[in-house]
Structure 1
Amino acid sequence: MLRNKKLTLLDPSSWDDKNDSYFLEVYKKRKKLSSVYALCFTEKNETYHHWSVFCSRENGVCVVFDRDKLIGHLNQQAGITCGPVNYRTIGDTGWPDLEIDDLPFLKRWAFRDESEFRAVYSGDAESEETKDISLPLSCIKKISVNPWVPDQLFSAIKETIKEIEGCRSLAIGKSQLINNKSWKRYGNIIA
């Protein structure tokens, strides 16, 4: 992403949640599209859940975007629609109020903790596994590296990122979610 300055949207058929990918497939068929790709973001701050579900123990990064800049850029891209995911229960009585264009942004209530936001590409482009769109690096606020990464490896990752053209001034840190000095200080002030 940093080297190529591109975001990669995936074919939803590759997703773990087959309920979710089914809705995008229905959307594709009903709109008579040859391709639909999506990229999912979270609108939440980092959580233990994010680190433990979306990456393995010693790899992965969290890219924090400037929401307004990113959405502004995405809205200028042909075929891209952005929006928050609407979480519904199976017994929800609001289903008749939904329209075809709502389908890419629907997900089961059980996933609500993800607070997902999506960029969805819909079009007649030749169907491939992925769809790349440009990414101005000015849309990135900071990069946070996995909290379990050993310090020496973090230093190497940070140095490597800083060497990429345009990334010298990016804020890069190691997540302190599981080992935060400021949080630990409170243990010393409790009577």
Structure 2
Amino acid sequence: MGILFVGGIGVGKWLKKYMEIEYLEKTLENRELFLGKPEDWPDKNDGELIQIYKVKKKLVDIRVTCLTMGPDRFHFWKIFGKGNLGVCLWFDKKELLLDIKTDQNLREGSVCYFTPTQLKKNCSIDGLPFAKREQYSDEKEFRVLREYDEQATGETQGIAFNPNSLKKIYFNSWLSKSECDEKVEKIKSLKENCYKDVEICQNKTLEFQEFINAAKCVK
């Protein structure tokens, strides 16, 4: 078998979506997560596996979004959040899964991590979109797919979510206080009207003061 998350989908309370701040307001307004093209991903291993799946299943198109169930990582912010351009949405896992399951055309699942030998022996065709190299197992990735067996027309449909599923919004550590305040102000009316209970914070990955203070106590 591939490397699975300990406890599978049951581990942890959150599904987190790292994205760029410029899309935050539209995401909140539309109550929808964007589904992207795997062929545009920088990691060609991921994109190629999904393209192989698409060919084997005779699909016309497939769109995907990636979330994580794992703890915060510097490289999540640097790669997925584009550094000082990033924001992270924290969804209650159970509630977001209920949102996803209301759309019969979506597939979702935890990613399994394989060596090439394990992939060949243990992965099914249906598992290919949820397969990744073992080196990435710390990501604890979760994917949602929309498959098309005929050409999509118009704008691609995303993943609709209930505002109550979203619990926290974290802005990146690179922003100054004034920059962060400015970003919060942009979504103020949305928060007051639709996201009243959402906690808005700034991530402290780059300077976690409690850890620094602990170091000062070392003798």
**TM-score if structure 1 supplies the norm length?**
0.90
1:98 maps onto 2:129 in alignment:
no
- Deviations for 1:109-155, whole angstroms, at most 9, x for unmatched residues? 22222211101112335347843231211111201100010110101
Select which of 34, 46, 61 maps to 1:35. Answer: 61
| Distance of 2:127 and 2:182 partners within structure 1 | 43
Q: Is the 8 A contact 2:100 2:106 kept in 1?
A: yes
> Which stretch shifts more, 100-109 or 50-59?
50-59
Q: Which residue of 1 aligns with 2:14?
A: none
Sequence identity percentage: 29
Seen in structure 2, the aligned counterparts of structure 1 residues 188 and 98 have a Cα distance that, compared at 3 Å, is: closer
Q: What amino acid does structure 1 have at the position aligned with 2:103?
A: Q
Count of residue correspondences: 190
Q: Give the residue type in structure 1 aligned to 2:215.
A: G
Compared CA separation, residues 23 and 131, structure 1 to 2 (3 A): farther
Q: 2:149 aligns with which of 103, 121, 124?
A: 124
Task: Indicate the SS of the match to 1:3.
Answer: helix
1:142 and 2:168 correspond:
yes
Code of the aligned partner of 1:139: S
1:18-167 map, 5 Å: 18-92=44-118, 95-127=120-152, 130-164=156-190, 165-167=193-195
* Further displaced range: 147-156 or 57-66: 57-66
Find runs of 4+ consecutive structure 1 residues off by over 4 angstroms: none
Does the CA contact (< 8 Å) of 1:66 and 1:141 recur in 2? yes
| Secondary structure of 1:91's aligned partner | helix
Superposed CA deviations along residues 7-47 of structure 1, whole A, max 9, x for unmatched, are 11112111111221111112112212222111101111211
Q: CA RMSD in A?
A: 1.9
Alignment TM-score, normalising by the size of structure 2: 0.79
Aligned mates of 1:81, 1:56 — CA distance in 2: 27
Residues 162 and 168 (structure 1), Cα distance of their counterparts in 2 relative to 1, 3 Å cut? farther
Deviation at 1:168? Answer: 3.6
Code of the residue aligned with 1:151 in structure 2: it is K
Q: How does 1:2-21 map to 2 (within 5 A)?
A: 2-21=28-47
Q: 2:211: which partner in 1?
A: 183
Pick the structure with more helix per residue: 2
Contact 1:162 1:168 (C-alpha < 8 Å) held by counterparts: no
> In structure 2, what residue type is equivalent to 1:8?
F
User: Aligned equivalents of 1:131 and 1:21: distance in 2?
Assistant: 20
Unaligned runs of 5+ residues in structure 2 are 1-26
Q: How far did residue 172 of structure 1 move?
A: 0.6
Distance 2:40 2:214 in 1: 44
